[in-house]
Chain A
């Protein structure tokens, strides 16, 4: 994989910044700001109709003095970006929200650079007086398994059989990386926080 990634190196790097967690409703929320979302290669692939997926994987950890920290729970949020060739617009789908449409890739990037409010825990599950911290991994996937599924959908047609290969994921990743379509990743961690002291908003 390292060799493959080496070929895929480029100047721009996805980055992430995290806020201090806060309480919103019955959840502890973390605001994550993504920057440098689209490098030149991603921009080109998007304008050519290739979809992309951005995923935030948030993990909540409990600090335990003198011992290894404890992984409490995780949350995954993702959005899908597609270019609609017929309408000449970019569509952004995310869960429980209407599809957003953008006419230019810059406005799309500006929209996605807004803070992502990611829940990291239900407040009732956190112990008062205990120290926690969160780790967020941001991943931009130019090509995903779901995308390959769609390609098959064109081949098989509605109701048709799926075409399947059992190519190992590691090999597929290597091919993606060599082709410049490997995942872009970034990671950040909050400072420790005590649930009782979090702002409610």
Chain B
């Protein structure tokens, strides 16, 4: 009799906690109205918004960030450093648009050193070279190249991408890519750094790997404004990668590593239609909606070893509720519309990316649904002293499931969704965060603790 009621009680508890935090938001906002001065100040240092005739110096930044622009504008319109942008979770990352790029100011050339430590490559190191005009109005091509060496399996890996604008302001671009890389499931979105540190310190590898080698081309257009639409054609060969039993960690050495699951090896010939708007806005102004929607078809007249049609959508939104709080939501839906989806193109849920109280890739299948919500409240009262950078309280809930349907039906009504919830603490500016997650459907749940270097979504 206890089982049915315990999850409801936990869900109710989470809702009550969220309401308390919402009320706390308003209280904290009221408490923050401090420090007024009464008279007109002399000798004011005036700052004016940069207009079209302004001459901003290289060492200063002065921008207007209208919310309208954040919601509907082009991706590159905020002239802030790339490092402040949230990490873009999708793509091959040959031409990289975010991350710290320590380069000569105004330089068009950059080299990024790449590091990764995982349970199939062991240490993988290399560099990424990028020629990029950093100017959306430029008709210059963009070129990126990645060369890496996987020391564990003694293999060279590479990636090349060339992109040429066809219309002004990059409204239409054409590109080609060629690569051989250690790839992982599309829903396992922890960064190389974060995953490497987790493996090194906690003997946790949050991703399942396979090798992808192939080439392709694409046409991409920003003409629609609210989204970037692109059409991709690719030919890729997929190979399984075995677990390297020599994978070492500094701590928790007695914990067995997860095996790296086999994939369906073969060659895939695919075309894909993609709509994307990835957030490139800095942390404080990241309110708005982003999306990644893709329909991929393989086989049929295209040939190849696989035949399927897969639809996938990842929608995210951040709503600023008050100066001290925000509400982030994410909805993922994936479905195989026809054919047999190879395992490497399937959906995997569970782990630090989604369903945070479940172990990594607990659920797998050719259909998926994931709903996530996270409330973030800045605790201003702790902004002094040791927590000068600020401390944020987090409350979250994840609900979803990945399942297989032999008839390729997205029968979510027949599924019992897993529900995880919990709380966390975060530093200011999207830095370190620790999550405490529980399976809300388990009467005696374990408390899963995860340390992150970035937001879950």
Contacts and interface: CB of A to CB of B under 8 A. Distances in A.
A80 B33 CA distance: 28
Chain B binding surface, main DSSP class: loop
B380 A162 contact: no
B457 to A, nearest CB: 16
Contacts of B383: 185-187
B2 interface: no
B258 interface: no
Interface string B102-120: 1111010111111000000
B61 interface: yes
B322 A168 contact: no
Interface in B366-389: 380, 383-389
Nearest to B40: A201
A163 B114 CA distance: 12
A73 B37 CA distance: 23
Nearest to A189: B32
Interface of B: 29, 32-37, 40-50, 54-57, 59-67, 81, 83-84, 96, 99-105, 107, 109-114, 128, 191-194, 284-285, 287, 319-323, 380, 383-391, 425-432, 453-454
Given A80-B59, A162-B102, A1 B385 contact: no
B284 A166 contact: no
Given A95-B60, A159-B104, A164-B111, 4 more contacts: A2-B391, A114-B41, A162-B107, A190-B36
Nearest to B284: A57
A171 B453 contact: yes
A170 B64 CA distance: 26
B43 A165 contact: no
B37 A17 contact: yes
Contacts of B102: 148-149, 151-152, 162-165
B431 A173 contact: yes
B66 A73 contact: yes
Given A19-B36, A95-B56, A71 B67 contact: yes
A10 to B, nearest CB: 9
Contacts of A168: 191, 193-194, 453-454
A186 B388 CA distance: 8
B390 A185 contact: yes
Nearest to B113: A165
